[in-house]
Each structure stands twice: as C-alpha cells, then as structure tokens.
Amino acid sequence: MLPLTGHAACEGHGYAQELPREPQSAAIARRFVSDALRAWRLDDVDLDNAAGLVVTELVANAVTHVDRGPIRVSICHRPTTRRVRIAVADHSDAVPLLRAADRDAETGRGLHMVNELSGGRWGTDLPAVGKRVRADLRVGKIDTPATSNGSIAV
Ligand SMILES: Nc1ncnc2c1ncn2[C@@H]1O[C@H](COP(=O)(O)OP(=O)(O)OP(=O)(O)O)[C@@H](O)[C@H]1O
Ligand SMILES: [Mg+2]
C-alpha cells in the first residue's frame, strides 16, 4: 500500500493503490480497504462490510462504464470528522449520476447503495485527468441520512 501523505483529499492518514481496470480488481480492493481499516484499528464488522460493498461498487462502475486507463483506489481516515473516505479514480471525466429508481430495471442500483451506506455523503471530484468518485462512511454508530446528495462536493 502506498501512503497518501500530503494528499489534498486526505487530511488524515491514507493509502492508495493503483489497479488494472478489470473485474478481478474488486477483490483486491476489498482486501486493500480491510487491511487499511485493520491498520487503523477500525475493523468493526459493520464498517468493514460497508467499506467492502462501496469499494466493490465503485470498482465495478469503473470497469463497466470506463474504457481506458487503470484505476486508483484510495482510503483515507479523517479522525476529526470520524469518517473514512473511500475513493476510486478512473480516466474518464464522465460524472456518475443516480439513476431514477425503477423496480424493473436490471441496472442502476449500485450508486443507490453507495448513497444509502454513506448517508448521502458521496460525490465526484474532477482532477486534471479523469475523475474520482468518493464516499464517506461514518466510523462507529449507524449513519443518519444527509440532506446533500452526490452532486454536492463535501
Ligand atoms: N465510473 C463511472 N464512469 C462513468 N459513468 C459512470 C461511472 N459510474 C457510474 N456511472 C454512470 O452512472 C450510472 C449509475 O451507476 P450505478 O452504479 O447506479 O448503475 P449501473 O452501474 O448502471 O448498474 P448496477 O450498479 O446496478 O449494476 C451508470 O449507469 C453510468 O451511466
Ligand atoms: Mg454500478
């Protein structure tokens, strides 16, 4: 794991890992976030499960909806806000949007799950190249929904 020291998006401690844009990277990313949580002694089972679901979905989205470049998975612990930020960067600047809920649709649920698990605290940053989709998970008790949504930067 590469330390994320000095990274603008991470005021606390962080790690990042570059991975190929392929389905197998989801399992590596889950292990990566679990290892980071354990290193920070944040290996609470609910947080670990939520982090695993979120990073799986964000990696799957980069694999499914992007056609170029590797991905970069990062995790950042912000003790002051009691949040863990999970992000997946890719080489496309297309901004993901929540699709309208449709019971019969076969796709379009992944970001709704990210939205739920982060209490609405997710969004997209646009660096010089590509984008970074991030979600903030609460450390400790179950989160309450925020009024913000994915289109608002935090
Ligand atoms: N990394 C990404 N790059 C570009 N577009 C994205 C990315 N992630 C999501 N999107 C867009 O946002 C939409 C909603 O994403 P979401 O994950 O909710 O649904 P899905 O990936 O289409 O289906 P599901 O997650 O249910 O398999 C996608 O259909 C896609 O158009
Ligand atoms: Mg998806």
Return the pLDDT at 144.
55
Query: Does a structural domain hold residue 149?
Result: no
CATH number reported for the structural domain that contains residue 44 in this entry:
3.30.565.10
Neighbours of ion ligand 2 (CB under 5 A): 61, 110
The model's pTM is: 0.89
Percent helix, percent strand, percent coil in the chain, to nearest 5: 30, 25, 45
Q: Are 18 and 69 in contact (CB under 8 A)?
A: no
Query: Does a structural domain hold residue 86?
Result: yes
pLDDT one-digit tens code per residue, 11-53: 568 999 999 999 999 999 999 999 999 999 997 999 999 999 9
Tokens of 131: 């984008």
> In ligand 1, which atom is closest to the CA atom of 94?
4
For 13-154, where are the alpha helices, taking DSSP H only? 25-39, 45-65, 110-117
Which residue has the CA at smallest separation from atom 10 of ligand 1? Answer: 96
b/e sequence 16-45, b meaning 16+ C-beta within 10 Å: bbebebeeebbeebbebbbebbeebebeee
Return the pLDDT at 10.
61
- Sign of the Cα pseudo-torsion (132, 136, 139, 141, in order): negative
Query: Does a structural domain hold residue 112?
Result: yes
Query: Does a structural domain hold residue 148?
Result: no
Q: Which ligand is nearest to the CA of 111?
A: 1
Q: Name the band, by pLDDT with cuts 50, 70 and 90, for residue 81.
A: confident
> In ligand 1, which atom is closest to the CA atom of 106?
26
Query: Does a structural domain hold residue 129?
Result: yes
Domain housing 81? 2-138
Residues in the chain: 154
| Cα 93 to ligand 1 centre (Å) | 13
Query: Does a structural domain hold residue 152?
Result: no
Residue 20 Cβ contacting ligand 1 at under 6 Å: no
| Cα 66 to ligand 1 centre (Å) | 10
Q: Is the model's pLDDT at 1 over the cut of 80?
A: no
pLDDT one-digit tens code per residue, 49-61: 999 999 999 999 9
Return the pLDDT at 146.
57
Q: Please give the average per-residue pLDDT across 103-116, as a whole number.
A: 94
d(CA 15, CA 31) in angstroms, rounded, equals: 13
Residue 113 Cβ contacting ligand 1 at under 6 Å: no
Tally of structural domains, the chain:
1
